[in-house]
Structure 1
Amino acid sequence: MGKRSKKKKKKLEPSPQKHFEFLPNPEKHAHWISLILILMLLAVYFYPVLFGNQSLLPPDNLASRSFRPYVEKALDDGEYPLWNPYIYGGMPSFASLSTAPYVDGVGLVLNTVVRIVTLNRIDPVTHFARYYVNMFLLGALMFLLLKRKGLSSGSALFGSVAMVFLPQVMAYAAFGHSTKLLTVALVPLIFLLLDYLLERRTLFLFCLTALVMGLQLLRAHTQICFYTQFMAGLYLVYWIVTRWKDKEKAGVLIHGAVLVMGAMIMGLLLSSVLNLSVWEYAEHSIRGGGETGGLAFDYATNWSFPPSEIATFFNPSFMGFGRETYWGPMPFTDFSLYFGLVTLMLAGLALALERNRTTWFLLILAGVALFISFGRHFPVLYGPMFRFFPFFNKFRAPKMIHIILEFAMVFLAAYGIDAVVRAAGNPGRHLKTVQRTLLVFGAITGFLFLVLLLGRGAYLNWALEKAGQYRFQAYDMALSDGLRSLFLAAVTGGAVLLALRKKIRPNWLPMILLVFMLVDVWPVSRRFMDFSPETKVDDFFRETPEVTFLKEQDGPFRIMQAADPRPANWYMYHGIQNVWGYQGAKVRIYQELADAFGIPDQFFQDYLTVEDGRLRFRRPDEIDPARMAVHEVFFKMMNVRYVVSPYPIPHPELEMIHMPGRQGENGLLQYRGGLDRVFFPRQVVPGRGGTGILRYMTSGMFDPEETAVVEGEIPFEIGDPSNNRADILEYGLHQIRIRAEISEPSLMVLSEIYYPAGWKMRVNGRAEPIVKADYVLRSVFLQPGTHEVEFVFEPPAFRYGLIVTLATLALLLAGIIAGGLRERKKQSEQS
C-alpha cells in the first residue's frame, strides 16, 4: 500500500471584493466613499452640537473651559502659561498637563485646516470641531491601517466606523476627555508605521515612525501614550519570536529591534518640551512623590476592571449601566466598557477562520490588556508591572487600557468579516467552524439573559447595597439589553450564515454588518450624551453678585468653598484664586497638608450634627474648639479671606457679609482674623520630618502669625516684626516682586506654594535659596533694611526641553527628506 498523502488545511485566499459596485472603477472610489461616510455618520450623530446650537456640558469639559480666560490673558500679555495661581494655592500648569497651548503639532495642522475650510468662522480650539475632526482622523487612520493589512474596503470601512463609534471613544467627547481622544487618534498610524518599519527597515520609515510617536506624546495624555508604547514593545517581541522561528538572520532581528527602540527614544526626545517638565513635576506631585516613587497601590487601582464585568461585553447593562444604576466593585462609573456584541462575535470568527500572525498578535494584545486592566482584582500582570515596570506606577485607573483591547477587537472584527466573505467561496470547509463559533456566542448571550429572566430576586439582591432604589431601574435596563443582545446575536449570526451559503451576496455582508454594529453601539453611547442648549454654557459661567464683589476687593487673597455646588475650577474663569480645585496631579505636599487639616471636605462637616434623623448646624458650645483652631491655622497661612457657601457657618470668626439671594445661590463669609499674602511670624522653629510638622501644625498649639516652622538652617535669631512692612510691587503668573522694609532680623513668609523645580528668588538682585516654611510655603530670612525680593518662575526643564525638541525635529525632518530621496532614487534605478 502506498502512503496516504496528508491534506494540508487550505488557507483562505484573498479575493478581490467590490462593495461599491454602482460606481465605475469601484475600488478607485471606495477610499473616498468610506471617508465621506465616516464624516457623514459623525455629523448625524453629533447633529445637535454641530448644527443644532447645543453643547455638551460634562464636568471635565467645564473644567477645561474654566482655564480659557487665564490662558488667553497670559498669551495676550506675551507670556506662555507655566504656573497657575488660581487653584490649590498655585501649582504648575504646563507640567501638570492642565494647559499646554501650541504644543500639539497635529492639532495645529488640523486647526489650521478647520479655519481654512470654515473661512475662519470656527475656532477649533474652543469649538466642538476639535472632537469632530479628531474622531474623523481616528477613523481615517484605522481605515488606512486595515487596507495596509490587505483587507477589503468594506471590511476596512466596518473597522474604521466601529473604532470611531466605540462607546469609550464617544465618552471622550461626552465627558470632555479631549487629550484622550487626541492621543488615541494616532494609535492606528503608529501600529501601521511600526509594521512597515519592521518589514522594510529604512531611514525614511524610522524617522517617520519616530516623528509620529513624538507627536502622539505631545498630545498630552501620558497614560495612553504609555499603553501605545507598550503595544509597540509587545509587537516587537512578537515579531522577533516569530521571525526567529522562521530562521531569520540574527542581524535582521537586531536591526529591527534597534530601529523600533531607536524610534521610541527619538519620539521621547521630540516630546521633551512637554515631557521633561512632566517628569520633573512627577517627583513633586501625588503621582511621583512618596515612598514608592509613584501612586499608592490602593489609590492607583481604584478603577480596576472586575473580571465579573466581562459579562458587560455581552450585555452593556448587566451590572447597571453607570451612575446611580451601577452596582459593580468600582467606586463609580458613568458607563460600561461595552464595545459591541457584533464586533465581539466577528472578532471570534476571525480567530476561528483567519489564524495568521496578525490575528494571533491581536489576540495576545487583547488578552494582555484585559489582564492588566483587572488591576487589584487579579494582579497576575498588574502587580509585577506596578512594582517593576518603569513609570507604570505613575498611572491610575487600570481600566483605561481597555482602549488598546478595543482597538485589537475592532481590528480582529474587520479580519472576521473578510474571512467570512472569502470562506463563502468554499462554505462546506468552514461552515461547521462558523456554526460552532456562533453557537458559543449565542449560548453565552442566552445564558446571561436566562440569569436575568429567571433570577430577578438574586439580581436585585446583588445590586441592593450599591444601587439601592435604583436597582429596579438597573434590572429593567439589563433585561431589556439582554433581549436586545439576543436579537443582535441572532441577526448577526444569520447574516453570516446566509452570506456563507451565498443566500445573500457575500460582498454585501460588510455593509449589512456595519448597519447591525451601528444599531448595536449607537444607542448605548447615546445614554451618556447630555446635549444642552449652547446658552447654558454662558449661563453656567455668568458672573454672580458674590463674584462681582470679590473682583472689586483689593488683593491678592484666596477663597475657600464650603458646600458650594459649583465646580472648584469655576472661580478660575473669573480670575479668583481658590485654595482648592479640580486636577488629577496635585502638588504632593499640598495634598498632604489638605489631608492633615481635613480641608475642604471635613471643614463643613465639623459644623453639622444629626438630630432626629436630620442635619442641623451645631450650636457654638457643640463645636470642637480644636477643630476651629485648625481651620483658622489653614485660613491664616493660605491667605483665605472669604468662604463661599450658601449657608451661615457658625464659626465665630466668619462673618456673613453677603447673603444668598435665593435658593441655589451662594453667600460670602469673611474671615476676620486673616493674614496678608506676605507676613512676618514672631518666632521660628526648625522642622524635622513631614509627619511631625503636620502633626504639630494641627495640634491646636500652632499659629502661623506667631510661629513659622522652617525646614533647613536658621541663620540667625529673629526679632520683633511689628514695625516691618511689605508691599507687593508686582504680582504676575511667573513673577512676584516685593519691597520689604525690615526693622529687626526677620523671616518673611510668602503665602505661595513651595515648588523648588521652577521658582527662584533674588534678594536685591542676588540669588538666594527659598526657605520652605509651614510645610508648603516660601520664605526668606532678611536682615534690617529695605530689600527688593523677587520670585521668578523659570523651570529649566521647559527651556532645555524646548531646545531638545527643536533639535530632534530638525534631525527627523532631515532624515525623512534624505530617506525619501534615497527611496525615490532606488525606485528610479529599478524602473
Structure 2
Amino acid sequence: MHFDLKKDILPHVLGILVFYLIVLFYFSPAVFDGKIIFQYDILQWEGAAKEILDHRAETGEEALWTNRLFGGMPAYLVSFEVPGDITNFITKILTPGLPHPINSLFFGMIAMYILLLSFKVRPAFSVAAAIAFAFNTFHIISLDAGHNAKIWAICLIPLILAGIHLAFDGKKILGLALFAFGLLLQLKFNHLQITYYTVIIVLIYGLGRMLQSIRENGLPDFGKTMAILLIGLLIAVGGNLSRFLTVLEYGKYSTRGTTNLSSQEASQDGLDKDYAFNWSQGKLETLTLLVPNLYGPGSTKPFPKDPETERVLRSNNIDVAQVKDNIDYARKYWGDQPGTGGPIYGSAIMLFLFVLGILYAPKPYKGVFIAIALTGIILAWGKNLQGLNYFLFDYLPGYNKFRAVTMALSMSLFAIPLLGALGLEYLFRGQEEKQAIKSLGIAFGLTGGLALLFWLFAGAFSLRAPFDDNFPEWLVEALKEDRKAILKASAIKSFLLILAAAALIWAAVTQKIQTSILGIGLAILVTFDLWFINKLFLQEDDFQNNPSEQFFAKTPADESILRDQDYFRVLNINNPFNDARTSYYFNSVGGYHGAKIKRYQELIENALNPEIQDFIAKAQEGDFNWLGLNILNMLNTKYIMAGRAENAVFVNPEANGPAWFPQEIIPVQSNDEEMETLRNTDTKTKATVNDNEFSRVNSGSGMVTLSNYSPSKLEYEVQAEKGGLLVFSEIYYPKGWVATVNDQEVAIIRVNYLLRGIEVPDGNSTVKMSFEPGSYYNTKALVVIFQYLSVLLLLGSIVLTLRKSKGNGEA
C-alpha cells in the first residue's frame, strides 16, 4: 500500500501534533505537574459519589443505589459502571498522556478535523476550524465549573456527523463504523441534553440530504443509507443499554417526571418553566460570538486596572476596599442572565469565515449549517423568545426535561466553524480573483464593520445591570464608563483579528502567499485569540495539587459525628439541598444533584423546608423542638450540623431509627391528602398508606435492628410481638428493590409518601432488602458485546477503506 508521505500523511500528523501541543501547553500544570483543576461541580460529584466509589473499590461490585444524598436514590446518574466496559480504556488510547477531562478538547479537535476532511476541506483550512470548535470559551468555562461529561459529549458531535456524512457520500461501511463509534462514546458520557441537541443536528442534516435526494431522484439510496445508519444506532445503544434503560426508567420518577401532587402549579410532565429557562441568553447577547465582552467578561472575572469606578469612589471619600467585592460583582456582567461564567465565544475570525460560508459553500450544506447555527441561537434565547420556546417546551418530545437553555449554543459553536471552513475551501476552488475579493469585502464589512461600529458607538448601549439599583446614580455612571471601556477594547480586538484574517485570505487569493501559509496563519490567529481570552476563565490559580483533599478535609464537626458508628442521617442546615460535601462522610438528608427523586423534591418543597425553617426559628430562641420534626425524624436524622465547629453539631434524640413499628395506620386517598396529613403526624407512632394504591395493612409492635448494611443491600433482625406494618427510614423506589422475610419475597409498599414498608409476621424474622434492577442485570452482558462489535467494526472498516483506496489509486 503506497502513500505519498508529504501529501497523504505529513499534513495530518502536523495537524494532530498542533492539537496535542495546544492542549499540552495550555493545560501544562495538569500535564507536567499533575495538578487538578479546581472544579466545584466535580467536587460536589465526588462528595455524592463517595459511597459508590468506595464500595466499587472495596468489593469490585457496583453500588446501584446510594444512601448518601437526598435520603437515598439510584446511582445511575451519580457514578455508574458496567463490568467489562471498555470505553474508558478507549478514550485513554485515543488521547495518549492527556489526563481527564482536558483530553476531551484534544479529541474534539481531532473529531472536527475528521469531519472537515470528510467534507473534503483541505487539511490546512481544517486545523484552524478544529481549534476554534474545541477551544472555545464555552468549553473552557464548562471545564472550570466541572461539566466534564458535557464537554466530552459536545466534542463527539463532529465524529457522529462525520460517520453520517460519509455514509451518505458513498463510504457506507466507514460511515456506519464512525457513526456507531462516536455515538457509543457520546452515550457513555450520559449527557442527555447534549445528545438531544445532537439529534436535532442530525435531523436537520438528514432533512437536507433527503431534499437533495428528492431533487436528484436518489430516494432509494437515501433509504439504504438510513437503514445502514440504523444498524449503527442499534450498536451504539446496545453498547450503552444498561445506562440507557436505567436512566430511561429512572426519568419517570425523577424531577424530570410528572408531578404526584395535583396542587402543584407545575403539573405538567418535566421541569418547571421558570427553572428550565432561568438562564436564557439575551437576543443581543448572542453577538458575544463576535465581540466577546459585549456584556462584560463574566460575573467572577478580573476587571481592568485603575477603573473609573475606583477613581470616583476615592473622590467621594469612600474606602474602596470596603465595597470592592460588591463593586467588582456589579460591573463585570450586565446581561439578561442571573450571572455567567463568561461570554460564549469561538473566535470572531470564525464568524467572519461563517459569512464566507454563506456566500460560497455548496447550497445543500449552506442551508443545513445555517439552520443548525440559528436553531442553537433561538433555543438559547429561551424566555426571551417565549412564544416559540415555551411552545417547544410544552410540545417537543422530551425537551421539557432540560434546563440551562444557553447550552443550545453548542450547536451554533459546532456549525459556525464547520460552515466557515467550507466557505474558505470553496472560495479557493476555481473562483475568479475579482469576485473573490468582492466577496471577501462583503464578509469583512458585515463582521469587521459591525465590530468597528460597536467600538465607535459603545456608549449607545444602556450598560446597566440589575445590581445597579443598589448604588447611587453617580456610582452607576462610573460603572457604565468601566463597562464601556471593556466593550470598546473587546470590539477593537475583534476588528483587528478579522482584519488580519481578511488580509491573509486576500494575500492567498491574489497568490502572494500559498494556501498552506494561509492555513497556518489562520490557525495561529485563532489560537492566539482564544488562548488569551480563555486565560480569563481558567488560570494557573485554578490548578491545585489536590483540591478534594482541601475541600473534604475533616472539620471538628465531622470528627464529632464520625465517632458515632450507628446508622443515621445528617442534616447540614447551611444550604442543605445544594451541597454534597456532607455526603462525603455521611448519609445526608440533603445533597447536590440535578435529578432528585420527584417525591423527595415534593417533600422538600411542601414539608421538609417549612419544618427546617420552623425548627431553626425556634432553636434561635432556645427551643429545640425535636418532637416536632415529623419529617426529619422519619428520615432518621440523628444529627443537625449548623457549622464546622464541634459545638455546631446538635444531636436529635427523637430520630425514628432505621426501622420501627407504627402504632396506628392512617389511610389516605390521594398524594395531596397524604402530604398534608404527614406534615401534622407523629411519624414514630403513626404512618400513612394510600388505600388507592396499596392493600390495607395492620399495625404491629416489636423491636428492629439493622444487622448488616451496604448501599444496595440491607438486613434487619425483627422481633415482632405482633405482626404488622414495619416502616423503614429508606426511600421508596418502585423499580428494583426486592424484600424478603425469612427468604420469602414480600411486597414493598409506599408509606409516609416516600418511605418503604413491608408486613412482617409474629415472632422473630430476618428481613433483607436488595436493589436488583432488571434494567441493569438483564443487559450488562449485551453492553460488552456491542462495545467490542463497535471497535471491531471501526478497525475493519478502516482496513477495507485503505484497501479500496489503494485499488482505486486514491489517496
1:494-505 paired onto structure 2 within 5 Å: 494-505=503-514
User: Alpha-carbon deviation of 1:488?
Assistant: 2.5
Contact 2:715/2:768 (<8 A) preserved: yes
User: Alpha-carbon deviation of 1:578?
Assistant: 0.8
- Give the % identical residues: 20
Segment of structure 1 superposing worse, 231-240 or 386-395? 386-395
Question: Which secondary structure state, in structure 2, belongs to the residue aligned with residue 418 of structure 1?
Answer: helix
Contact 2:181/2:794 (<8 A) preserved: no
Select the structure with the greater relative contact order (CA < 8 A; seq sep ≥ 6).
2
Letter in 2 for 1:658: E
Letter in 1 for 2:194: I
Q: What is the aligned partner in structure 2 of residue 165 from structure 1?
A: 135
Answering whether residue 726 of structure 2 is matched by residue 757 of structure 1, we say no
Contact 1:142/1:188 (<8 A) preserved: yes
Answering whether residue 405 of structure 2 is matched by residue 398 of structure 1, we say yes
Q: Equivalents in 1 of 2:451, 2:632: separation in Å? A: 58
Contact 1:104/1:219 (<8 A) preserved: no
Q: What is the aligned partner in structure 1 of residue 61 from structure 2?
A: 79
Q: What is the aligned partner in structure 2 of residue 307 from structure 1?
A: 283
User: Alpha-carbon deviation of 1:493?
Assistant: 3.2
Contact 1:726/1:738 (<8 A) preserved: yes
Question: Which secondary structure state, in structure 2, belongs to the residue aligned with residue 336 of structure 1?
Answer: coil
1:69-468 paired onto structure 2 within 5 Å: 69-75=50-56, 76-94=58-76, 96-100=77-81, 105-111=86-92, 129-200=99-170, 202=172, 205-206=175-176, 208-248=178-218, 250-290=219-259, 291-323=267-299, 324=329, 325-379=332-386, 382-421=389-428, 426-452=432-458, 454-455=459-460, 458-460=462-464, 464-465=468-469
User: Alpha-carbon deviation of 1:25?
Assistant: 2.8
Q: What is the aligned partner in structure 2 of residue 636 from structure 1?
A: 633
Q: Equivalents in 1 of 2:432, 2:668: separation in Å? A: 80
Q: CA RMSD in A?
A: 3.2
Q: What is the aligned partner in structure 1 of residue 555 from structure 2?
A: 544
Contact 1:686/1:714 (<8 A) preserved: no
Q: How has the CA–CA distance of structure 1 residues 795 and 150 changed in structure 2, closer, same or farther, with 3 Å as cutoff?
A: same
The gaps in structure 1 that reach 5 residues or longer are 1-22, 119-127, 610-616, 648-656, 660-666
User: Alpha-carbon deviation of 1:183?
Assistant: 1.7
User: Alpha-carbon deviation of 1:245?
Assistant: 0.9
User: Alpha-carbon deviation of 1:381?
Assistant: 5.1
Q: Equivalents in 2 of 1:86, 1:751: separation in Å? A: 13
Segment of structure 1 superposing worse, 733-742 or 368-377? 368-377
Q: Equivalents in 2 of 1:100, 1:143: separation in Å? A: 30
Answering whether residue 514 of structure 2 is matched by residue 479 of structure 1, we say no
Contact 1:207/1:263 (<8 A) preserved: yes
Q: What is the aligned partner in structure 2 of residue 3 from structure 1?
A: none
Q: Equivalents in 1 of 2:531, 2:806: separation in Å? A: 49
Question: Which secondary structure state, in structure 1, belongs to the residue aligned with residue 62 of structure 2?
Answer: coil
Question: Which secondary structure state, in structure 2, belongs to the residue aligned with residue 464 of structure 1?
Answer: helix
Q: Equivalents in 2 of 1:341, 1:697: separation in Å? A: 58
Q: Equivalents in 2 of 1:670, 1:475: separation in Å? A: 55
Q: What is the aligned partner in structure 1 of residue 681 from structure 2?
A: 702
Question: Which secondary structure state, in structure 1, belongs to the residue aligned with residue 588 of structure 2?
Answer: coil
User: Alpha-carbon deviation of 1:555?
Assistant: 1.5
Q: How has the CA–CA distance of structure 1 residues 317 and 824 changed in structure 2, closer, same or farther, with 3 Å as cutoff?
A: closer
Q: Equivalents in 2 of 1:697, 1:288: separation in Å? A: 23
User: Alpha-carbon deviation of 1:827?
Assistant: 8.1
Answering whether residue 690 of structure 2 is matched by residue 711 of structure 1, we say yes
Q: What is the aligned partner in structure 2 of residue 555 from structure 1?
A: 566
Question: Which secondary structure state, in structure 2, belongs to the residue aligned with residue 736 of structure 1?
Answer: strand
Contact 2:160/2:178 (<8 A) preserved: no
* Cα deviations by residue, 1:671-716 (Å, 9 ceiling, x for unpaired): 2322212122221101222222222222xx3110121111244545
Contact 1:229/1:264 (<8 A) preserved: no
Answering whether residue 760 of structure 2 is matched by residue 779 of structure 1, we say no
Contact 2:42/2:147 (<8 A) preserved: yes
Contact 2:86/2:787 (<8 A) preserved: no
Q: How has the CA–CA distance of structure 1 residues 106 and 138 changed in structure 2, closer, same or farther, with 3 Å as cutoff?
A: farther
Q: How has the CA–CA distance of structure 1 residues 270 and 112 changed in structure 2, closer, same or farther, with 3 Å as cutoff?
A: closer
Q: How has the CA–CA distance of structure 1 residues 813 and 488 changed in structure 2, closer, same or farther, with 3 Å as cutoff?
A: closer
Letter in 2 for 1:144: I
Q: Equivalents in 2 of 1:826, 1:154: separation in Å? A: 25
* Cα deviations by residue, 1:732-752 (Å, 9 ceiling, x for unpaired): 111111111111243211101
Q: Equivalents in 2 of 1:144, 1:467: separation in Å? A: 52
Answering whether residue 657 of structure 2 is matched by residue 685 of structure 1, we say no
Segment of structure 1 superposing worse, 406-415 or 389-398? 389-398
Letter in 2 for 1:559: V
Letter in 2 for 1:338: Y
Contact 1:562/1:604 (<8 A) preserved: no
User: Alpha-carbon deviation of 1:306?
Assistant: 2.7
Contact 1:564/1:645 (<8 A) preserved: no
Q: How has the CA–CA distance of structure 1 residues 481 and 819 changed in structure 2, closer, same or farther, with 3 Å as cutoff?
A: closer
Question: Which secondary structure state, in structure 2, belongs to the residue aligned with residue 697 of structure 1?
Answer: helix
User: Alpha-carbon deviation of 1:253?
Assistant: 2.7
Q: What is the aligned partner in structure 2 of residue 490 from structure 1?
A: 499
Answering whether residue 530 of structure 2 is matched by residue 517 of structure 1, we say no
Question: Which secondary structure state, in structure 1, belongs to the residue aligned with residue 580 of structure 2?
Answer: helix
Letter in 2 for 1:87: L
Q: Equivalents in 2 of 1:830, 1:37: separation in Å? A: 31
Q: How has the CA–CA distance of structure 1 residues 810 and 501 changed in structure 2, closer, same or farther, with 3 Å as cutoff?
A: closer
Q: What is the aligned partner in structure 2 of residue 121 from structure 1?
A: none
Letter in 1 for 2:382: G
Q: What is the aligned partner in structure 1 of residue 313 from structure 2?
A: none
The gaps in structure 2 that reach 5 residues or longer are 260-266, 300-328
User: Alpha-carbon deviation of 1:288?
Assistant: 2.0
Q: Equivalents in 2 of 1:779, 1:565: separation in Å? A: 26
Segment of structure 1 superposing worse, 504-513 or 673-682? 504-513
* Cα deviations by residue, 1:96-119 (Å, 9 ceiling, x for unpaired): 2544466864322233677xx66x
Q: How has the CA–CA distance of structure 1 residues 83 and 466 changed in structure 2, closer, same or farther, with 3 Å as cutoff?
A: farther
Q: What is the aligned partner in structure 2 of residue 589 from structure 1?
A: 599
Contact 2:85/2:784 (<8 A) preserved: no
> Could you state the TM-score of these two structures normalised by the residue count of structure 2?
0.86
Contact 1:282/1:289 (<8 A) preserved: no
Q: How has the CA–CA distance of structure 1 residues 45 and 240 changed in structure 2, closer, same or farther, with 3 Å as cutoff?
A: same
Q: Equivalents in 2 of 1:358, 1:209: separation in Å? A: 19
Q: How has the CA–CA distance of structure 1 residues 104 and 395 changed in structure 2, closer, same or farther, with 3 Å as cutoff?
A: farther
Contact 2:627/2:654 (<8 A) preserved: no
User: Alpha-carbon deviation of 1:259?
Assistant: 2.9
Q: Equivalents in 2 of 1:443, 1:821: separation in Å? A: 49
Q: Equivalents in 2 of 1:186, 1:140: separation in Å? A: 10
